[in-house]
Amino acid sequence: MKILIIGAGGREHALAWKFAQETKVNHIYVAPGNAGTATEAKCENIALTAPDELKQFALDAQVDLTIVGSEALLAEGIVDDFQAAGLAILGPHQRAAALESSKAFAKTFMQKYGVKTADYQVFTDAVSARAYLQAADYPIVLKADGLAAGKGVIIAEDKAMALAAVDAIMTEKIFNDAGDKLVIEQFIQGVEASLLCFTDGRTILPLKSAKDHKKIGEGETGLNTGGMGVICPNPYVTDDVYSAFVSDILAPTLSGLQTEQIEFSGVIFFGLMINADGVYLLEYNMRMGDPETQAVLPLLNTPLTDLIQAALDKQLDTMTLDWQSGATCCVVAAANGYPESYRKGDVITGLNGLDAQSHAFIAGAEKRGAEIVTSGGRVLNILSRGDSLSDARRLAYENLQKIHFDGMVYRQDIGDLAGMTDLADMTDAK
Q: What is the pLDDT of residues 235-263, one digit of tens each?
A: 999 999 999 999 999 999 999 999 999 99
Checking if the pLDDT of 4 tops 90, the result is yes
Domains of the chain: 2-93 (3.40.50.20), 125-180 (3.30.1490.20), 191-318 (3.30.470.20), 327-421 (3.90.600.10)
Neighbours of 322 (CB within 10 A): 10
pLDDT reported for residue 158: 96
pLDDT reported for residue 426: 39
- Partners of residue 329 on adjacent β-strands: 231, 384
Please state the rounded mean pLDDT for residues 130-150. 91
- Partners of residue 190 on adjacent β-strands: none
Checking if the pLDDT of 430 tops 70, the result is no
Checking if the pLDDT of 423 tops 60, the result is no
- Nearest residue to 414 (alpha-carbon basis) of 383, 374, 375: 383
pLDDT reported for residue 151: 73
Please state the rounded mean pLDDT for residues 89-101. 96
- Nearest residue to 20 (alpha-carbon basis) of 31, 28, 9: 28
pLDDT band at 149 (very low <50, low <70, confident <90, very high): confident
Please state the rounded mean pLDDT for residues 399-403. 97
Sheet with strand 65-68: strands edge to edge: 43-45, 27-32, 2-7, 65-68, 89-90
pLDDT band at 165 (very low <50, low <70, confident <90, very high): very high
The bridge status of strand 229-232 relative to strand 327-335 is antiparallel
Residue 311 contacts residue 198 (beta carbons within 8 Å) = yes
- Partners of residue 386 on adjacent β-strands: 327
pLDDT reported for residue 429: 52
**Residue 325 φ then ψ, to 5°:** -75, 175
pLDDT tens, position by position, 176-200: 998 999 999 999 999 999 999 999 9
Strands (E), 302-364: 327-335, 358-362
Mention every residue, 6+ apart, whose C-beta is less than 8 A from residue 219. Answer: 413
How many residues does the structure list for the chain? 430
Please state the rounded mean pLDDT for residues 266-295. 96
CA–CA separation, 215 and 229 (whole Å)? 10
Please state the rounded mean pLDDT for residues 152-178. 93
For 114: left if phi > 0, alpha if psi spans -120 to 50, otherwise beta; the answer is left
Checking if the pLDDT of 278 tops 70, the result is yes
- Nearest residue to 207 (alpha-carbon basis) of 245, 254, 258: 245
Please state the rounded mean pLDDT for residues 23-48. 97
- Nearest residue to 294 (alpha-carbon basis) of 387, 380, 234, 364: 380
Q: DSSP 3-state assignment of 9?
A: coil
Checking if the pLDDT of 427 tops 90, the result is no
- Partners of residue 372 on adjacent β-strands: 367
Q: Quote the mean pLDDT of the chain.
A: 94
pLDDT band at 230 (very low <50, low <70, confident <90, very high): very high
